Amino acid sequence: LSTWSAVPAGPPDPILGITEAFKADKDPRRINLGVGAYRDEHGKPYVLNAVKKAEEKIAAAKLDKEYLPITGLPGFTSNAAKLAYGADSVPRNQNAIAVTQSISGTGALRIGGTFLARHYPHSKTIYVPTPTWGNHIPLFKDSGLEVKYYRYFDKKTVGLDFEGLKEDLQNAPEGSIVLLHACAHNPTGVDPTQSQWKDISDIIAEKKLFPFFDMAYQGFASGSTDRDAFAVRYFVSQGHQIALSQSFAKNMGLYGERVGAFSLTTASEEERKRVDSQLKIIVRPMYSNPPLHGAHIANTILSDPELYQEWEGEVKGMADRIINMRERLYQLLSNDFRTPGEWSHVKSQIGMFSFTGLNKEQCKVLAEKAHVYMTMDGRISMAGLNGRNIEYFAKSVDAAVR
């Protein structure tokens, strides 16, 4: 008998499964709207010019391959914090933000989950929105936290269930942890307005909850890294201590390089040093120290004014292309095809994804009849649409809902 004969087969990953089905479909009209990675107007993966230039600079510098410190490349972590918190952030200027480089956003969330499970003195329960990015749930459970939910999405309006959200946060036990998507909520594309963020901040202060921001799309939502950091910076300005996960997968297109950062704001430099020491104790037995190359790329872009400017333009270019696709899809569905239903949410949603409101049956029909692949919850990656396939997609949606 094999040692592993009793290991049960786990379910396939729902998103990677879609890519498999897409690859197996040889129809020339096939469209993959499952994957959360940017595609250019030709449907191709996109390497940013700022990234190519940074790589040239790195190659020319002939750097060695020595280990990084446990918490990563110091220039990178400092610049990542500056990007998220802003140059004039009070805890930043007090040297009171503990930051560690991480294996992209997922790794940052995992370090954060573990840190909170070990050191957060009040509760081991984290509230996440329904729905949320699917990986949040196993990730926080594996970190040692208990996962509970707060209402977020209203199916009727295809928008934010703000009353439900407020009620659930108000009813959460004092001291609970709350996971907030800083911008471009995945999977819904629905974000609170600035005024709603202010109300959320008030409830969190009043109920003594602890905010953990997941910022996987800074710059990608609106095209402005400052605007997309509004919630994070507003909370800090209101005196909240926060935890923050950052990813450079989307905004620099560094998906497979795995570049991210986890940070905590603390009360003083002395406290920050103690927190830093515990972050090291979490990282060291997991993977010892993070990879070099991606951190050098991000740091080169963030520290060179010319590359920074080029990068900002390219982030805006990606965001604008997605915003144009939203506008065009809305026009096609509501004006050209007069597709039954209300489609304005396609335009008002933000970021990589749109929650179309299509049901499971309709998603199945789209895959089987039209060669259009998306997650069964009706989420589409807007980045998978382009000038050449958007009409075909809209027509297929039209046929599927009639």
Is 220 a binding residue for ligand PMP by CB under 6 A? The answer is: no
Tell me the window of 102-110, 141-149, 235-243, 316-324 that interacts with ligand PMP (CB under 6 A).
102-110
Say how many residues touch ligand PMP, by CB under 6 A. 13
Under the binding rule (CB under 6 A), the answer on residue 192 touching ligand PMP is no
Under the binding rule (CB under 6 A), the answer on residue 216 touching ligand PMP is yes
101 binds ligand PMP (CB under 6 A): no
Of 98-106, 155-163, 273-281, 342-350: span binding ligand PMP (CB under 6 A): 98-106
Q: Which two tokens stand for residue 4?
A: 């592993």
* Cα gap 176→267, rounded to integer Å: 20
Burial of 28 (0-12, 13-18, 19+ CB in 10 A): exposed
Separation between Cα atoms, residue 274 and residue 234, nearest integer Å = 26
CB nearer ligand PMP, residue 165 or residue 216: 216
- Is 250 an annotated catalytic residue? yes
- Any contact of residue 349 with ligand PMP (CB under 6 A)? no
Report the residue number, 90 or 137, with the smaller CB distance to ligand PMP: 137
Q: Which stretch binds ligand PMP (CB under 6 A): 22-30, 103-111, 231-239, 312-320?
A: 103-111
Annotated catalytic residue, options 161, 168, 191, 214: 214
Residue 186 binds ligand PMP, judged by CB under 6 A: yes
Kindly name the residue from 228, 250, 311, 343 that is annotated as catalytic: 250
Beta strands (DSSP E) in 39-137 are: 97-103, 125-130
- What CA–CA distances, in Å, run from 134 to 209, 219, 253, 346, 366? 23, 22, 21, 21, 22
Interaction of residue 34 with ligand PMP, rule CB under 6 A = no
**Residue 319 vs 397, nearer CB to ligand PMP:** 319
Coil, strand or helix: which one is 97?
Answer: strand
286-315 mask for ligand PMP (x: CB under 6 A)? ------------------------------
> In this structure, what are the phi and psi dihedrals at residue 130, rounded to the nearest 5 degrees?
-110, 120
181 binds ligand PMP (CB under 6 A): yes
CA pair distance 150, 128, nearest whole angstrom: 6
Residue 379 binds ligand PMP (CB under 6 A)? no
354 near ligand PMP, judged by CB under 6 A: no
Contact 273, 241 (CB under 8 A): no
321 binds ligand PMP (CB under 6 A): no
47: left (phi over 0), alpha (psi -120 to 50) or beta: beta
Restricted to residues 121-150, the positions that interact with ligand PMP (CB under 6 A) are 133
Residue from 34, 72, 105, 211 in contact with ligand PMP (CB under 6 A): 105
Residues 6 or more apart whose CB falls under 8 angstroms from that of 391 comprise 332
Residue with tokens 């029909």: 365
Place of tokens 């879609």: 18
260 lines the binding site for ligand PMP (CB under 6 A): yes
Check residue 112 for interaction with ligand PMP (CB under 6 A). no
Considering the complex, what minimum distance in angstroms separates the CB of residue 258 from ligand PMP? 7
CB within 8 A of 113, min separation 6: which ones?
126, 139, 140, 142, 143, 144, 145
Report how far Cα 195 is from the mean position of its chain's Cα atoms.
Answer: 22
CB 214 → ligand PMP: shortest distance, Å? 5
Q: Output the six-digit token pair for 54.
A: 């940074």
- 214 touching ligand PMP, by CB under 6 A: yes
Helix 136-143 vs helix 104-119: crossing angle, to nearest 10: 40
Active site residue 133: yes
> What residues are labeled active site?
133, 214, 250
Q: Please give the residue ranges that form the binding site for ligand PMP (CB under 6 A).
A: 36, 104-106, 133, 181, 186, 214, 216, 247, 249, 255, 260
